[in-house]
A and B are shown apart, each in its own frame.
Chain A
């Protein structure tokens, strides 16, 4: 079946460091890909998405490019802030027309000042 594998955490960085969280997927069709974020004490929220190959999703300085040839959707940010500390989930949507998301295991990111 479809699956998502993401970089294991926890990840700890200093403020202004470069961030990469790796995500690879296995899917039979052409899924849409997502990054969700869960800030402390808050619900999951969509960070960015890409719906087809070579699309780049971006939001709040984060970017991820849908790479079909490497089945990857790595999350990057050039300069992280303390407020980026959260748990990040990579996910794919199996079915067009419904968001039955398959999630990765999550990566806890801590940014130190």
Chain B
């Protein structure tokens, strides 16, 4: 079956521009997570959506970062006024329910390069 799909796979943008990254989770998965993987910081949690609950935004590094999840399915991570330190691989993951018994399924990520 289809896994978690992320687009684009690669994005190069100029400093100061806004970018949108998209995640299509596995159908029926209620939980959706964004992480980022960078050379300096490793893998970091960004934001978590669970069903219709308010998202947990505790990992977002600044107010330039925001995310939404429409209709409980597709999610978009937006970075405004990009900076060079935003360069990283942005990973999306989904799981079928709350709790540690449901494994996270990760997408292949979007590699963002800010020039």
Contact = CB atoms under 8 A, between A and B. Distances in A.
Interface of A: 32, 42-46, 49, 51, 89, 91, 93, 96-106
Given A89-B43, A100-B48, A100-B56, A43 B98 contact: no
Given A43-B91, A44-B91, A46-B103, A100 B109 contact: no
Interface string B81-112: 00000000001010100111101111111000
Contacts of A96: 99-100
Contact of B45 (A42, A45, A89, A101): A101
B45 A43 contact: no
A103 B42 contact: yes
Given A98-B50, A100-B56, A45 B100 contact: no
Given A97-B99, A99-B95, A102-B45, 13 more contacts: A42-B108, A43-B108, A46-B103, A89-B43, A93-B100, A96-B99, A96-B100, A97-B98, A98-B48, A99-B100, A100-B56, A101-B35, A106-B43
| Most A C-beta atoms less than 10 A away, residue of B43, B91, B99 | B43
Interface string B18-51: 0000000000000101010000001111001010
A43 B48 contact: no
A43 B43 contact: no
B59 interface: yes
Nearest to B42: A105
A72 B93 CA distance: 26
A101 B60 CA distance: 14
B77 interface: no
Q: In the A-B complex, list the 7 residue pairs whose CB atoms are closest, starting with the nearest.
A: A103-B43, A44-B106, A32-B100, A43-B106, A46-B103, A43-B108, A105-B42
A101 to B, nearest CB: 6
A42 B59 CA distance: 24
Nearest to A89: B43
